[in-house]
Amino acid sequence: MLLMRRDPDTSGRFDGYAIGKFTGPTMIVSLPLISGQCRTGVTPAPAPHDTPRLIDSHGRAIRDLRLSITDRCNFRCVYCLDPDTRFMPHDRVMTIDEIERLARLCVSLGVEKIRLTGGEPTVRNDLDEIITRVSQVGAKDLALTTNGSRCDANSLRRWRDAGLSRITFSIDSLRPDRFAAMTRAKVSVETVVEAIEAASRVDFDGPVKVNAVVVRGWNDDEVADLAGLARRYGIEMRFIEFMPLDASRAWDESRLVPAAEIVERIHARFPLVAAGRVEASATSLDYVFADGTPGRVGMIAPVTRPFCGECSRLRITADAKVRPCLFSLDEWDLRPLLRGGAGDDEIARFMVDATWTKQRGHGIRSGDFRQPERTMSAIGG
Ligand code: SAM
Ligand code: SF4
C-alpha cells in the first residue's frame, strides 16, 4: 500500500503572489553551511512494492527525467561553478549507448518527459546523435537546457529535425560587462541573445524558455529588463531563486531574492496578471502581461515556495548516479550495472528501489540542512 501523504508546506498548491502587496525583503537569516557528504550507496534497499513504475515512498510518481550528459561547461557562472573546477575523467561519463539505454528503461517505468542537461550539453560533439536516439525511446517530450553559447539557427533547426521538442536557455544579464562577470566566460551576451532570437523562429513543439538565476547584488536590479526579453521575442522568461548548490558555497539568505520581490519589480514596469501553473508538478508559477503583449514570465521559487509535494522529477548524473532529489545526500550508482553486464530487468529494479528513497523535501530552510557536495552543474539542472 503506497503512502499518499502530502506535506502542506511543500504541496506546491500556491496560486500566485498578491501583486502590489509586497512589502520588502523577507527577514534575512544567515544559515551556517555544513558541508554535505554525498554517500554513494551500493544498492538501495528493496522498495516494498512490485509495481514496474518509478514511485517514491511519499506517493509521488516520476514522470520527468533530467538526464545529464556531461559535467563539463565552458562557463563558470558565479552561482554554479568555481573558476578552477576540475571535471570528471571522460571514461566516467556515460556513453551514448548508456544514455539511450537508461532513457528507454525510464520510459518503460513511467517517464514521459526527458530533459538533456549538464554541465553544458552542447559541449558534447555527439549531441546530434544523442538527440536522435533519445527522441526515439518513446517519451512524449524531449527538451534541452543550454547556456546558448554554442547554438545558432542551423544547429537549432538540426536538433528540432532530429527530434528535440523544446529548448530552454539561461541568461542572467543583458549587460555585456555584467554578463562577462557572472559567466566568467569569453562568450558575448549578443551570442546568447541571438541564439534565443533564432530559437523563437524555429518551430519547436513548445515555447522557448529562458532561465535567469537572480542573485542579490549581482542582477536583481535587472529583472524587468530580462522580462522585456519575453515581450520582445514572445517567449517565457523564468526567474529562479538562487539555491545552495554553488561550488563556492557562498549561498546565504542575504543573496536570495524572493520570487515575490521579483514579481513586484517586474510588475512596476510591465503590469502582470497571474496565470497559475501549467500543471501541478510544474516548477514555475506563471504570469502574462496585462497589456496582452505575447510572452510570459515565470517564477521558480524552490526556497520561498517549495514545490516538493508535487515533484515528479528524477535525475541521473553524467556518471550514471541516480539522484532522487536535487538535494539528495544519497545517490545510487548505476555504472557497475551498466558496465558489468546487468540485464534490463536488474537495472529497472535498481531504478525502482532508488526512486523509493526520494526524500520528502529539500529542507533548505531547516536547521539541519546540508548542502550536497555536487554543484548544480555536476547534478544536472
Ligand atoms: N549549462 C546549462 C545552462 O546553464 O542552462 C544547463 C545546466 S545548468 C546547471 C541548468 C540550470 O541550473 C540553469 O538555468 C542554471 O541557471 C541553473 N542553476 C545553476 N546553479 C544554480 C543555483 N545555485 N541556483 C539556482 N539555479 C541554478
Ligand atoms: Fe555552466 Fe550552466 Fe553551471 Fe553556468 S549554470 S556554469 S552554464 S552548467
The string of pLDDT tens digits covering residues 86-132 is: 999 999 999 999 999 999 999 999 999 999 999 999 999 999 999 99
Q: How far apart are the first and last CA of the chain?
A: 32
Distance (angstroms) between ligand 2 centre and the Cα of 53 equals 32
Is residue 52 scored above 50 in pLDDT? yes
Radius of gyration of the chain (CA): 20
**192 pocket-lining for ligand 1 (C-beta < 6 Å):** no
Note whether residue 125 is domain-resident: yes
pTM metric for this prediction:
0.89
Full residue range of the structural domain in which residue 200 is found: 38-379
40: confidence class by pLDDT, cuts 50, 70, 90: low
Q: How many CB atoms lie within 10 A of CB 242?
A: 23
Question: Could you tell me which of 234, 238, 174 has the C-alpha nearest to residue 202?
Answer: 234
pLDDT score at 370: 85
Contact 64, 115 (CB under 8 A): yes
Tell me, what's the pLDDT at 200?
97
- Please, are residues 24 and 77 in contact by the beta-carbon 8 Å criterion? no
Q: Angle at CA 73, nearest 5°, toward 227 and 125? A: 110
221 assigned to some structural domain: yes
Which pLDDT score is estimated for 43?
Answer: 85
How many contiguous H segments (helices) and E segments (strands) does the chain have?
10, 15
Q: Supply the CATH number for residue 75's domain.
A: 3.20.20.70
Half-sphere exposure of 286 (CA within 13 A, CB side): 16
- Percent pLDDT > 70 in the chain is 89
Residue 27 has pLDDT above 90, yes or no: no
Is the residue at 211 inside a domain? yes
- Cβ–ligand 2 distance for 120 under 6 Å, the answer yes
In this structure, the residue with its CA closest to atom 4 of ligand 2 is 77
pLDDT at residue 39 in the model: 52
Q: Going along 147-249, which residue ranges are E strands?
A: 166-170, 209-214, 236-241
Q: Does position 141 have pLDDT exceeding 60, yes or no? A: yes
- The response to whether residue 326 sits with its C-beta less than 6 Å from ligand 1 reads no
pLDDT for the residue numbered 10: 35
Identify the H or E element spanning 228: helix 223-233
Residue type, 276: G
Query: Is the CB of residue 81 below 6 angstroms from any atom belonging to ligand 2?
Result: yes
Q: Is residue 363 part of a domain?
A: yes
Atom 10 of ligand 1, residue of closest alpha carbon: 381
- Residues 296, 288: contact at Cβ < 8 Å? yes
Let me know if residue 183 belongs to a domain.
yes
Whether residue 319 is contained in a domain is answered as: yes
pLDDT of residue 26: 28
Does ligand 2 come within 6 angstroms of the Cβ of 80? Answer: yes
Q: By C-alpha distance, which of 38, 20, 17, 99 is closest to 318?
A: 99
In a domain, 2, yes or no: no
Query: What are the residues facing 209 on neighbouring strands?
Result: 168, 236
Give the largest Cα separation in the chain, rounded. Answer: 59
pLDDT of 237 strictly over 80? yes
Most confident of 26-30, 68-72, 374-378: 68-72
Beta strands in the chain (DSSP E): 34-35, 39-41, 64-68, 113-117, 141-146, 166-170, 209-214, 236-241, 272-276, 284-289, 296-300, 313-316, 321-323, 330-333, 370-371
In a domain, 227, yes or no: yes
Residue closest via CA to ligand 1's atom 17 equals 381
pLDDT in tens, 263-319: 999 999 999 999 999 988 888 999 999 999 999 999 999 999 888 889 999 999 999
What is the count of structural domains for the chain? Answer: 1
Of 49 and 142, the structure prediction assigns the larger pLDDT to 142
- Is a pLDDT exceeding 60 seen at residue 347? yes
pLDDT at 331 over 50: yes
pLDDT band of residue 17 (cuts 50, 70, 90) is: very low
